[in-house]
With several copies, the nearest count.
Chain A
């Protein structure tokens, strides 16, 4: 099912497909017409995606079929070995952690995991972590420091879960502790916003030496819907709120909140995930390589300065 603004693209694609079928049946050469249509399609795609409104970007960032943390961990990385549990409260399926290799380099990985279908979305709590998820992340930070392994965090959450148990178990406390613990990492850390960067629940694993974001991902202090509900007293005004919050990759790069934007294939990561993941891998490799040389002191100071300023 396409996003609203993808409808024209889908229609044109259907027409091209139809014409191919027709040409094949009739055994006539329509390659020229098809080529023309194809180039029109490309223009339409680029026009559409280069001029997406902020609210449309939000929809792309949340699009079904967009690669999730596990898609990256099992495709861009090798030997992914998941480690479960926070040793205190439980094992949070919305926060996936473990060991993996990127292009031969051993790293500790932490990813916020949304479902790839409704069933998984429910079991993953739509990517909204409980305190046990952040405790598990902190366990991984300890492991990374002890064994001197770089840390890669994949951010993709609407936010930390606002529920009874989550509050009882100190959601605010673990987010603060996670921010603090990550800022103390003695190893290189790279965070990548791959979809939704939802408020403190996202920042908790975003205190890295380098913070990257995918072209169509978003990172915001509050969801457009909640912002609209509070400031416009009408969650229907989410589109206005999205514009006001300036939460797109381009905005955040200008604000200095992120350091680099990872380009997505034309049509968005959800339309060509293999290509999106390949680009992600290439960029992440560069970023990890760039941090490799740095001393513990340099890493700590760079992270301190990056978030202090």
Chain B
């Protein structure tokens, strides 16, 4: 049934996340073709048969976008705490530990500086495999710091989003990250530096409802689920099936919410075109105040 497919799709390609025991081969969720994992990875985690876009690991994303050898990591110095001493079926602290071990980073984000087609860029990449890419205080703080540092250094800003939304284990503090990331973007706006957000599968909840949709230009990956409320919630609310393609990138393009849907193989080139087109003013007038209308 539609909804299930909707969730079986776009699964990541990391061993523990797919159904092929050996993990050498996997069956494409979209076209059922047998794919050799190496080919999938070589093809930017896009099915060579049907072009279905799978979630992309952070490192692969950075390799794909940053000019060779230019990426310099900013994030990683702060670690999540457990302000609410939150415990459901297991303590929040344990969830974080496991995720950190599995993903090799303190939280669901990597930020840093790099060149993209020779353009100086500040970039953030969310890690959906770290507690669903949920945004807590650390993720919010890393994003805010990256935006502010990019503004200070006169860099364009790029965000690659993938998130289930706010991290509820941090309660209202996670909600506040929506405001924190939003106000931090103000620094870029005042410096007239372009911010391009790239919405990858899935981008939902508090992340979609804050910095992710505030890009001067918003690009989306094919088939990406992009929403405020998740399809399950909506279905429970309205008690009916959702239209095919609802909340998908192509649907949102039609609804006027994103500037374009871009194939992964074309993403870097498009970023270079857009960023270079918009980065004239920033260089010229980094410090000047911009009228709200123009921001």
Contacts and interface: CB of A to CB of B under 8 A. Distances in A.
Do the two chains touch directly in the complex (Cβ atoms below 8 Å apart)?
A: yes
Interface stretch (A12-20, A142-150, A264-272, A277-285): A142-150
Mostly helix, strand, loop or mixed at chain B's interface? helix
Contacts of A179: 178-179, 182, 209-210
B293 interface: yes
Nearest to B194: A147
A83 B179 contact: no
A167 B179 contact: no
Nearest to B167: A221
B229 A167 contact: yes
B260 A203 contact: no
A82 interface: yes
B52 to A, nearest CB: 23
A197 B170 CA distance: 16
A79 B117 CA distance: 15
B137 to A, nearest CB: 11
Interface string B89-117: 10000000000000000000000000000
Contacts of B194: 147
Tell me which of B88, B179, B208, B217 has the highest count of chain A C-beta atoms within 10 A of its own C-beta: B179
Interface string A136-165: 100000110111110000000000111110
Given A221-B166, A247-B172, A184 B260 contact: no
Contacts of A247: 171-172
Interface in B232-260: 233-234, 237-238, 242-243, 246-247, 252-260
Contacts of A142: 293-295
Interface size class of A (residues with CB under 8 A): 35 or more
Contacts of B185: 180
A166 B270 CA distance: 30
Interface string B214-238: 1011000000001111000110011
A146 B253 contact: no
B237 A163 contact: yes
A172 B213 contact: yes
B174 A148 contact: no
A1 interface: no
Given A81-B273, A177-B214, A90 B254 contact: yes
Given A149-B280, A246-B171, A160 B217 contact: no
A176 B214 contact: yes
A239 interface: no
B274 A175 contact: no
A86 interface: yes
B89 A231 contact: yes
B295 A146 contact: yes
A81 B277 contact: yes
Contact of A255 (B172, B256, B274): B172
Interface in B246-293: 246-247, 252-260, 270, 273-274, 277-278, 280-282, 284-285, 290-293
Contact of A85 (B83, B173, B216, B253): B253
A38 B285 CA distance: 58
A172 B253 CA distance: 14
B211 interface: yes
B206 interface: yes
Interface size class of B (residues with CB under 8 A): 35 or more
B184 interface: yes
B176 A257 contact: yes
Nearest to A222: B168
Contacts of B189: 146
A2 to B, nearest CB: 29
A288 interface: no
Contacts of B255: 85, 90-91, 168-170
Contacts of B253: 84-85, 91
Interface in A163-205: 163-164, 166-173, 175-177, 179-181, 183-184, 186, 199-200, 203
Given A143-B216, A170-B256, A181-B293, 15 more contacts: A83-B260, A84-B253, A87-B256, A87-B257, A91-B255, A142-B293, A145-B294, A146-B192, A166-B228, A167-B234, A169-B255, A175-B210, A176-B209, A203-B175, A207-B179
Q: Which 8 pairs between the two chains have the least Cβ-Cβ distance?
A: A162-B229, A85-B256, A145-B294, A172-B228, A172-B208, A231-B88, A307-B179, A148-B281
Interface of A: 79, 81-91, 99, 101, 106, 132, 135-136, 142-143, 145-149, 160-164, 166-173, 175-177, 179-181, 183-184, 186, 199-200, 203, 206-207, 219-222, 226-227, 230-232, 240-241, 244-247, 251-252, 255, 257, 303-304, 307-309
5 contacts: A79-B277, A83-B259, A84-B259, A171-B209, A230-B168
Interface of B: 83-84, 86-89, 144, 166, 168, 170-176, 178-180, 182-186, 189, 192, 194, 205-206, 208-214, 216-217, 226-229, 233-234, 237-238, 242-243, 246-247, 252-260, 270, 273-274, 277-278, 280-282, 284-285, 290-295
